[in-house]
Amino acid sequence: MKNFTRHLKKYKNKTIKKGGNKNGEEIQRKGIIDNLGDKLSEAADKTGAVIINNANEVLRSDTVKQTTKEAAKDTVEVVKEITEKVNEALEDL
């Protein structure tokens, strides 16, 4: 992608001759490059939206909700154990 971007910048404002045209009409590369950039940006936006939507569907799933609930319970148990050990250590002082 880096090379592609560098290539776009290199030719952004240069003009080219339209092949086979006797009048030598010039086409601004800038317009071509801008249009291509717009298309790439639009594709990236759509791809990002699809990815986020898919992630949201997964996060809303019952499996994720259950797993999160179980992880929270496990965390509570670990914190209780640590708290008990800290309290025991403080009593021994």
In tens digits, what is the pLDDT along the chain, a chain of 93 residues? 556 556 555 555 555 555 555 444 455 556 677 777 788 888 888 999 999 999 999 999 999 999 999 999 999 999 999 999 999 999 888
Answer yes or no: pTM beyond 0.85. Answer: no
User: For residues 61 and 68, what is the distance between their CA atoms, to the nearest angstrom?
Assistant: 11
Supply the pLDDT for residue 14. Answer: 54
Would you state the structure tokens that stand for residue 19, as one six-digit string?
A: 């092949």
Supply the pLDDT for residue 65. Answer: 93
Would you state the structure tokens that stand for residue 89, as one six-digit string?
A: 């250590």
Supply the pLDDT for residue 60. Answer: 92
Would you state the structure tokens that stand for residue 29, as one six-digit string?
A: 């590369």
